Amino acid sequence: MYKEIIDKIRPELDKVINFLERELTKIRVGRVSISLVEDIEVECFGQKFPLKQLGTISSPESRQLLIQPWDNSYLEPILKALSQSNLGMAPIADKNSVRISLPPLSEEYRKDLLRILSGKMEDARKTIRHWRQVAWDEIQEGFKTGEVREDDKYRGKDELQELVDEYNEKIGELIEKKKKEIVE
């Protein structure tokens, strides 16, 4: 019974790791990545669309992004969305494209990125702790109703902690890898 409870939270823990991986790709280090802007919401024709649905995004140089909308009527809304994105970038409109040049990383910006990284790590770990608590509460409830034996309750607690440790280690590895990219 306790194994089923633990197996039930594993997909939730995988979602935490996948979400963290996506969030980390949005943090710019040495080379700029299109993931930095591709999901920015752009309002067109009374609806919101992710930028990647309105044109092609490329990186012609290591610190530059080029956005080529499929329709020139998207240019203004794209410029507006990029300016409001709080990513600290100044988009420049050409005839039928938008260029974003990003400055090299300053020491202060690197420190900010490390601080953001710490926050993302803590958020991920907090979510892992939440799912551990959900599973543990369910195991204890099973013990109270007689569905889980006492020795299985403690075995379940140990296995649950092993699972949590495994996922916390994955989080730590992802964060360390990104820290190295930022510091280099």
State the SS3 of 114-152.
HHHHHHHHHHHHHHHHHHHHHHHHHHHHHHHHCCCCHHH
Helices marked H in the chain — which ranges?
2-25, 75-83, 107-145, 150-183
Residue 28 has pLDDT above 70, yes or no: no
Length of the chain: 184
- Give the confidence band of 130 by pLDDT, cuts at 50, 70, 90: very high
Q: Are 65 and 59 in contact (CB under 8 A)?
A: yes
Query: Does 34-101 match 2-25+106-183 at the fold level?
Result: no
56 vs 27, higher pLDDT? 56
- Summarize pLDDT for 61-73 with one digit per residue, the tens: 777 788 888 888 8
Token couple for 120? 């993302």
157 vs 183, higher pLDDT? 157
Return the minimum-mean-pLDDT range out of 96-100, 141-145, 163-167. Answer: 96-100
Domain residues of the chain, as ranges? Answer: 2-25+106-183, 34-101
Q: Are 168 and 125 in contact (CB under 8 A)?
A: yes
Residue 126 has pLDDT above 90, yes or no: yes
CATH number of the 2-25+106-183 domain: 1.10.132.20
Q: How far is CA 5 from the centre of its chain?
A: 26
Output the pLDDT for position 107: 79
| Of residues 127, 65, 59, the one with CA closest to residue 90 | 65
Output the pLDDT for position 177: 87
Output the pLDDT for position 164: 94
Specify the pTM.
0.63
3-state secondary structure (DSSP) of residue 92 = strand
Percent of the chain with pLDDT over 70: 92
CATH topology of domain 34-101: Gyrase A; domain 2 (3.30.1360)
Token couple for 74? 């998207």
